[in-house]
Structure 1
């Protein structure tokens, strides 16, 4: 039954992607599924294959960034090539399945088609007229759709045969769970940095320190560059943006500007209904807390935090969670991951940004986008100028590009050096190279000419005196603190208490390798788990030196609900990782022996047709 449900879900996704994919592209010449953009063996790579995958990734990326990602931006990120690679891999596997004689039978394909709600009448029965109508309205035909579905089902069978039975050794889960669930109890105290007084240094001491550390006070190799550059932001004020376009963009982003009520929620999933109900009962009677139940399952609060979510995102839990008060625990509620308890941490009221309020930002965004297109239209003319021998000064004189001379070195990120593409070009430039028009990440253009290379050079002492004084003082304080900490750590290791060593200590119990203490220095937990029981270690921090003693090592009992859940989770993650590795090797091997041809002109035309 579960297998059938999963298959139906996959079918709905396939249908949705095909429909959404074609809706996002203009041009009737690309609406038919028989239109090809390439071949993988004997399998055509169709327009629908590419456009559906591209639209899915564009929508996903837009949701991730919280703003609509244009096709130009997507191409700068390499999204079109990634999608093409994904589609090619799928069709290569389809071809391999066909070569091996793996094919979903007609009755299974028909069964899946009849199960799609969009193809059913009001009584829930398959309606052939509805089936034809839905496909026709989306420029699809029955044969092509069913063949696409058959390919997807056959590919799934092939993939299941390749890595479906892969599993890590039985002992893997227990070994890793034992390691993860080990706990440490430690006592620690800080020797504060301000407990050491460092006298002011004399000039002789500073000059001696300066001479001993020339690398700290030297310029790296620097490059003097003549640069001409133009970015959308430089000309955005000159671009006209009418209110109608702004309103259209506002309407497209209405979900961004009109936000319904949301909730800050945590979700703790259990392996079964009985465990979830028992945990809820313990919380209600006060014998435990939600935090303790989270910890008992080997998790931290960050692992169960859902952030701010809308009611629909919570599914069946949406209504009871939104009816709860702050601090309430709701559930158990059945979720896609299993029965779960939810805790409401805060209520976020509905928010609305009016068009007038959003207009300045929308105007800037639209102006930048249009300015990028204006610059792109200038690219060919500027390239022709450079090909004709134009210098950096000539480019600035004959276009809107701005000319400047900069002294660039690795690590500088001011001005045009904020762009990675510029830094890469600056680092690789050679004297005598001809300028060329290059692209910046925001759609801008630049050209550069290497004027001279300045070798590494020690900066004058007078210029660096303040920094030398700071560095010398820090070094002296670190040495003094290390000496004090070493002495006190020795006393404690010899049996003295922290109080006898003159330290105000605190004890932290039950730490796991996953835990993080905000008040502890970096590396605290790693150091703790590398120590032997009873060991004492000094650990440098920004505020001084921490003296750390490992009091007790607690190993998991090897049984219990939380332990078994950890073993299962570790095993599942490793199984998924192994399956992914085998899948990648198999896919690459099959692709190497399959002839693939791509019509780049058709791909370019499709990319330009994105609405």
Structure 2
């Protein structure tokens, strides 16, 4: 009766599941009989959508190196992008069907033979690989070859749509002129020492108002009070017991590191012929050229000829003459299997002879750390079992080697070495932790493990004025100095603009006795304002390009320079808490004759052409969907989405 009852329940559940799937309109993902939509008579099957979605998710995971869940894929719009691609393809396929576009068997055959996925070890088409790939994709050869024919037909239509699109010449010329235009500018920075009077301290009411108005600068960040248990190899290493045999084995494994013969730092330059090698060696001996310059003349870099550390035996016939050198020099030519060769010796490295006794402490430390990593790995399952069984972090710390700790964490907490906050894995988890998360064992990058629990979240709060009064005062001083500098900059901008403007010739008048008088120099004329003695000098920057930079100033200066309209114009640039006066001296037309102009012209023409082609194709695809009759089965799409993990 007990078995019969279970069987009845199982069949009932299966029946309900079948009815549920039927309600979603999904009958089979492998047979392709269900449809997530169509354009006219061309369907988009659930199998096509499922396969395309999984391929896109796998591609995303390979690019980022991180697993991608369906929820994450939906958050970044991946399913919608896949649907857009499939319905666009269906619209084009529907158009090829109506127009009667198709390709022959030979084109289908050629496409399959050239596909990289079907090539064997010899680089040619492999029938076995072809069948295996189709089997993994759950497609028959007939289905795949039909899909190839449809794809090639769509490509014919697509090439016809976008083919022949040419970027308009006026648009290319305008863009190239804009990109290659150069400007002559000058700039100078105003600093607090140029103010006429020092900044006077404000009263308390002003400071309190500043504290309230700029609360974000004096607000403590959100604090997360976190309890954790952790264990690192460094913590466990003192408990590791190592016998001398294990240390001897570790010493023998590193024999090449502890026992090394005398070596030389060597470079090797192979010459085309014996005569050229002899001539080059003669020039080096005469001091006419260095070995390094000779390498450069041969079109090589020093990295190309560097052999690194070399022992006498590893150098073959060159070993004897090189090791006879008592100081850096060049030997050769020496005949090698590569041809006549010059060798340069750069440094002498003494032999290394570290005894077991001298290396024992280092060996013990390294071996203990390695053993501790393995011990932690072996015990991690026990720690996880305790947590899964309901043990608290405090109980886990009492029953195991894991150490208990607490930390007050915020997003701007320092990454202190020796603390759990110094590990990226902890910082990432601490930022995302919620009070409903269950503690689990997580790996550290040094082989350690930890588990965390969020105890409390202290929300951001404004620090009391009394606690931060000095910070508020300093911030007010900076703000007030900046405000006064902006006002001073505006005054000087007006003066500089007036000084740069062309002055009209004063009208001359004839006074008594025919003496010519100039009203501009009469005693009543207003004097021209002199710049402050402490004003900084203008720094001139000629031939500035749009993608250029000016040393010592923020990037906003370059952007503003190309927004100015006419030479002689002066602007105030407020960037990165600095006040800078910017003057436009000249606008230089683009040079369209140089190599740079040709390269930019080709790039602009190509980019505009591609952009126009994409726009035309997009308009055509949308029109094809509308005229063909786009239908979407959202229930089937939702059902497919639930199958993707």
Q: Is contact 1:521-1:541 (8 Å) kept?
A: yes
Distance 1:209 1:110, change over 3 A: same
Q: Is contact 1:436-1:448 (8 Å) kept?
A: no
Q: Could you report, residue by residue, the CA deviation over 1:508-559 in whole angstroms, capped at 9, with x for unpaired residues?
A: 1111222222411342012212232022234345585333222111011455
Q: Could you report, residue by residue, the CA deviation over 1:471-494 in whole angstroms, capped at 9, with x for unpaired residues?
A: 332233224434554555455441
297, 301, 320: which is aligned to 1:325?
Answer: 301
Secondary structure of 2:61's counterpart equals helix
Give the corresponding residue for 2:59.
Answer: 56
Give the corresponding residue for 1:145.
Answer: 144
Q: Is contact 2:165-2:612 (8 Å) kept?
A: yes
For 1:336-415, list aligned pairs within 5 A: none
Q: Could you report, residue by residue, the CA deviation over 1:85-119 in whole angstroms, capped at 9, with x for unpaired residues?
A: 34433332343233220544333212222334776
Matched, 1:70 2:67: yes
Secondary structure of 2:562's counterpart equals helix
Give the corresponding residue for 1:481.
Answer: 485
Number of residue pairs matched?
Answer: 418
87, 94, 106: which is aligned to 1:92?
Answer: 87
Secondary structure of 1:507's counterpart equals strand
Distance 1:184 1:171 in 2: 23
Matched, 1:556 2:618: no
Q: Could you report, residue by residue, the CA deviation over 1:118-143 in whole angstroms, capped at 9, with x for unpaired residues?
A: 76799998676775577568875422
Distance 1:550 1:460, change over 3 A: same
553, 558, 562: which is aligned to 1:520?
Answer: 553
Matched, 1:505 2:504: no
Distance 1:212 1:437, change over 3 A: closer
Distance 1:189 1:90 in 2: 54
Q: Could you report, residue by residue, the CA deviation over 1:192-220 in whole angstroms, capped at 9, with x for unpaired residues?
A: 33455865744x53433433673224899
> How far did 1:184 drift?
0.7
For 1:97-108, list aligned pairs within 5 A: 97-100=92-95, 101=97, 102-108=101-107
Give the corresponding residue for 1:428.
Answer: none
Distance 1:422 1:123 in 2: 50
Distance 2:621 2:430 in 1: 33
Secondary structure of 1:553's counterpart equals strand
Give the corresponding residue for 1:216.
Answer: 214
Q: Is contact 2:180-2:591 (8 Å) kept?
A: no
Alpha-carbon RMSD across the aligned residues, in angstroms, is 5.9
559, 563, 573: which is aligned to 2:607?
Answer: 573
Give the corresponding residue for 1:179.
Answer: 178
Distance 1:579 1:61, change over 3 A: farther
Q: Is contact 1:40-1:88 (8 Å) kept?
A: no
For 1:183-202, list aligned pairs within 5 A: 183-196=182-195, 199=198, 201-202=200-201
Q: Is contact 2:572-2:582 (8 Å) kept?
A: yes
Distance 1:214 1:146 in 2: 71
Task: Tell me whether 181-190 or 497-506 shows the greater mean CA deviation.
Answer: 497-506
Q: Is contact 2:181-2:546 (8 Å) kept?
A: yes
Distance 2:121 2:578 in 1: 73
Distance 2:578 2:126 in 1: 75
Distance 2:427 2:123 in 1: 62
Q: Is contact 1:193-1:544 (8 Å) kept?
A: no
Give the corresponding residue for 1:593.
Answer: 630
Q: Is contact 2:37-2:630 (8 Å) kept?
A: no
Distance 1:537 1:80, change over 3 A: closer
> How far did 1:468 drift?
2.7
Distance 1:92 1:463 in 2: 62
Larger radius of gyration: 2
544, 565, 570: which is aligned to 1:536?
Answer: 570
Matched, 1:471 2:468: no
Secondary structure of 1:185's counterpart equals strand
Distance 1:90 1:205 in 2: 65
Distance 1:156 1:56 in 2: 23
Q: Is contact 1:121-1:127 (8 Å) kept?
A: yes
Q: Could you report, residue by residue, the CA deviation over 1:255-277 in whole angstroms, capped at 9, with x for unpaired residues?
A: xxxxxxxxxxxxxxxxxxxxxxx
Q: Is contact 1:229-1:447 (8 Å) kept?
A: yes
> How far did 1:70 drift?
2.6
Distance 1:205 1:605, change over 3 A: same
Distance 1:92 1:449 in 2: 49
Distance 1:212 1:128, change over 3 A: closer
Q: Is contact 2:194-2:535 (8 Å) kept?
A: no
Q: Is contact 1:524-1:539 (8 Å) kept?
A: yes
Distance 1:139 1:124 in 2: 24
Give the corresponding residue for 1:386.
Answer: none
Distance 1:363 1:511 in 2: 57
Distance 1:222 1:501 in 2: 40
Distance 1:450 1:123 in 2: 62
Q: Is contact 1:210-1:217 (8 Å) kept?
A: no
Secondary structure of 2:584's counterpart equals strand
Q: Is contact 1:182-1:556 (8 Å) kept?
A: yes
For 1:400-439, list aligned pairs within 5 A: none
Q: Is contact 1:489-1:547 (8 Å) kept?
A: yes
Q: Is contact 1:224-1:406 (8 Å) kept?
A: no
Distance 1:52 1:170, change over 3 A: same
Secondary structure of 1:98's counterpart equals helix
- Unmatched runs of 5 consecutive residues or more in structure 1: 1-31, 63-68, 239-319, 329-355, 383-394, 426-434
> How far did 1:587 drift?
5.6
Secondary structure of 1:527's counterpart equals helix
